[in-house]
Every structure is written in C-alpha cells, then in structure tokens.
Amino acid sequence: MSKTIAIVGGGPSGLISAICFARRGIATTVYEALDCPLKAATYNPNRSYAIDISGHGLNAIDYIGAVDRFNKAMIQFDGVKLEDKVVTPWNEPGWIGSRGDIVSVLVNLVNEKYSDLITIHYQHRVTGVNVHQGRLEFEATNDDGTTEQHSQVFDCIIAADGGGSVLRAQATQQEPNYQLTKKDVGYHCKMITMDTNTDGLDPRYLQVLSPKGFCVAGAINGPEGPQDPLWFCFVPYPDDKRFDSLEDVRTHFAERCPKLLQYTSDKELSEFAQRPSQNIGRVTQSSQLYAGKVIFLGDAAISYPPIGQGINGAMESSMILDQCLGRAGFDTEGAVIDDQMLQQMAKMYNDRWHPETMAVSWLGMKNVMAKPWHKVRALAMEALNMNVLHDTKRSDIAYSEVYHRAKKQGPFWIL
C-alpha cells in the first residue's frame, strides 16, 4: 500500500513537489483554492511582476527535466541591466515571466505527463488541518457557485499554500515545537503597466530604470506568448502610496525615474495613482519546517521581502524535499514508502533547508529598496564590485554561503 499524500497549493512549489513524487511513481492529490490558471487571464496588472528564474529555480527545473519546456514557453533571461548597462549577465538557461506564466508551464507538464499520478482539485480551499492526525478540512466550490465542506485524512501533507499559509497558522496552535516569528519591515510596492514605446526594450533583461528610484522593469508573456511581451515596472515605497491626480504622479516620476514616463500613457499613470500597493515587507520565519504530518515548502515555509528569490527558493525547496526522500531510503532498491521514511524525509529536509530559509530571509531584510540606506548600500557595493547579492542567483552557491560572505563584509551590513 502506498502512502496517501496531499499537497495544499497548486503554485510553483506545490506543483514541482507533485511532479517530483510522480517521477518516483508516487501519487499525490493537490488542493488549489483558485481556478485552473490555464482558464484564467495570465496576468493581473496589479500583481504582474516579472520574475527571473535563475540558479536555484534552474536547479529545480533541470531536476524535473523541464528545461526544454521552459525554453519554449517563456522569455529567455540574459541578466539585469542598470541604466542600459548589463550588471548581472546570466549565461545559463534562465527565463523571465509572471508567476502565472511559470505555473502554466508546470500545469501543462502535469496534464501531459503525470495526470495518472497527480490529481489537482481546483476551487478547493483548505480551511483547517489536524497536523497530528493528518486530517484536512476543505471547502469545494461547484461550477454553479455552491460550496461543500469535506474532510480527508492523509499520511503526509505538503503545505505549499504560500505566504498567507492557513496550515502554518494552525500548526502553531497544535505543535509546540513549531513556532513563528513575524515582523513587518515596511516595504510596499506598486506595479505600473508600461504601454508605450516598449518595442525598443529587450525583454531578456530585467531593467533597473533609475538607480535612485529603484524602479525595475520586466517583461512577461503576452497573449501570443514570449514573442509578444507585456511590460510592467515595480516601484517600491515604504508604505501604502496613493496619488491625488495624474499631475502628482507625473511630478513624482519626473523626479524619481524620468525614463519611466517614456513608457507609460496617461491612462496607465492614472490607474497607477489609484492602485493599492502590496505589502511585500512581511517576514515570517518558523522554528522548524514540519509539524506533525505537515511539511512546509516555498513561501509557506518562509516569507521574506523579495530579492528575486521567492519562486527560485520555493522551487528549490521542493527539489530538496525530494532528494531527502531519496536519502531517507526511497532510492534503495525495493524500498516501499512508509511512515518512518516520511518522518525521516521531513527531518532531513528541515536540517538541510531551514538554514537556507534563515539566510535568504536575512538577505531579504537587508535589501529593502524602500529604505534609503539599503539603496545606498546596494549602489555602493555595485560600484565597488562587492555586491554579494548577485551570488543569490547562482545555481552552485547556497543562500547560506551568500549570507556568510555578506557577514564577512562586516560593518556594511549593520543597518
């Protein structure tokens, strides 16, 4: 008898984990609160940040044998430009796109190759968990909009339900060894759609349009895919920021990032003025990465301010969990998955990944581009060729190694 495994969340970490289990012949059931991303729009202008998949994400994509698929379906990533100069060249396989672009590639892979072993239940929102019994409570929404409550018991539950994880919140009430530390470092962002003159921009690069304003432009797939990119720019603020009028926004960007005005119509500037900002400064660290039968992956394991590593780290966490299953005995010939193996997998994963989560979260808290001192430090380090943050993108360097390198730079990192 195989063990029953549920995965809560059909985002990048949940889907990669399901694919890893399927590649070992192990069936999983995925519960996703939203509808299938292949049905819905691939982008939401309020949240369309361009994500680069670089080293850590590449490790995971390569691990599941999906490099060719990503090459076909996404924009190639060649690096980061600062005012038209390439500051971080990227020479390995890598891609740029929205979270939706990335999830769509993974869902297509599941549908085409692993549908016999991966069952995805869309519009199934998990509302509760008993971490020791392995019981999930969930609400299923039917096509006619009615809802039904269900519960089911599993041998193992993978929590991949993102930064607002319901399972994480409930685990703290049920498992004394599982504790959360939370803070808010004051980091908000607003996205602006770049809808004019973008033909001259090269979509293979993330582009820091002005060092002073730290406005980062990037492309995602358009309706026709990677050949038809749509452009957005990430603008950071220390708190929620609205503008009273179009004129206010124009004045703001004229000072902060004049280049952005070349790429935005009045319509988009007006929408930007009223657009709510997203709080991206919430940090949640956990004392360990499992509680009872639940194992935490991706943003559910750790949430931190974005430094281009959210999805990359999330996908790598799924790969590490799978490697731990192998080391816990599954790779031994004739091995059958049992409770002891699942427990060993959870402990090994915790030992291996927890230090990485603490390291990447420290780096995120030290690179809040809404804080003037953090911006000055980043620019000074760039000028001195000492910017260790570039190394977070590398496939061959762990986040903990980058953290130790930063720590060796001593006083630079006090604030």
Regarding 281 and contact with ligand FAD (CB under 6 A), the answer is no
Q: Which stretch binds ligand FAD (CB under 6 A): 26-34, 69-77, 142-150, 260-268?
A: 26-34
How many CA atoms, within 13 angstroms, populate the side-chain half-sphere of residue 230? 19
Edge-to-edge, what's the strand order for the sheet holding 75-76? 51-53, 95-97, 75-76
Q: Which of 119, 114, 128, 71 is nearest to 95 (CA)?
A: 71
Which one among 278, 288, 344, 395 touches ligand FAD, defined by CB under 6 A? 278
Q: Pick the closer one to ligand FAD by CB: 49 or 263.
A: 49
- Among 79, 226, 236, 308, which residue sits at the site for ligand FAD (rule: CB under 6 A)? 308
* Residues with Cβ within 8 Å of residue 385, at least 6 apart in sequence: none
The correct pick among 6, 7, 10, 29 for binding ligand FAD (CB under 6 A) is: 10
**Taking CB under 6 A as the rule, which mask of x and - marks residues 156-175 in contact with ligand FAD?**
----xxx---x---------
362 binds ligand FAD (CB under 6 A): no
Instruction: Report the C-alpha gap between 214 and 259 in whole angstroms.
Output: 12
Residues 353, 289 contacting (CB under 8 angstroms): yes
**For tokens 């004045």, what's the residue?**
251
Residue type present at position 93 = P
**Shortest Cβ 307–ligand FAD spacing (Å):** 8
Q: Which of residues 85-114 bind ligand FAD (CB under 6 A)?
A: 99
Tell me: does residue 312 bind ligand FAD (CB under 6 A): yes
Please give the Cα distance from 31 to 8 (Å, whole number): 5
Nearest residue to 137 via CA among 8, 297, 308, 321: 8
- The answer to whether residue 13 forms part of the interface with ligand FAD (CB under 6 A) is yes
Using CA atoms, how far apart are residues 306 and 189, in angstroms rounded to an integer?
10
Q: Which of 138/263 has CB closer to ligand FAD? A: 138
**Strand pairing category for 135-141 and 156-159:** unpaired
Closest distance of CB 355 from ligand FAD, Å: 18
Q: How far is the CB of 410 from ligand FAD (least distance, A)?
A: 28
Maximum pairwise Cα distance, the chain: 70
Q: Does 59 bind ligand FAD (CB under 6 A)?
A: no
DSSP conformation class of 290: E
What mask of x and - would describe binding to ligand FAD in positions 216 to 255, judged by CB under 6 A?
A: ----------------------------------------
Binding positions for ligand FAD, rule: CB under 6 A = 8-14, 31-34, 49, 51, 99, 125-126, 160-162, 166, 189, 278, 280, 298-300, 306, 308-312, 314
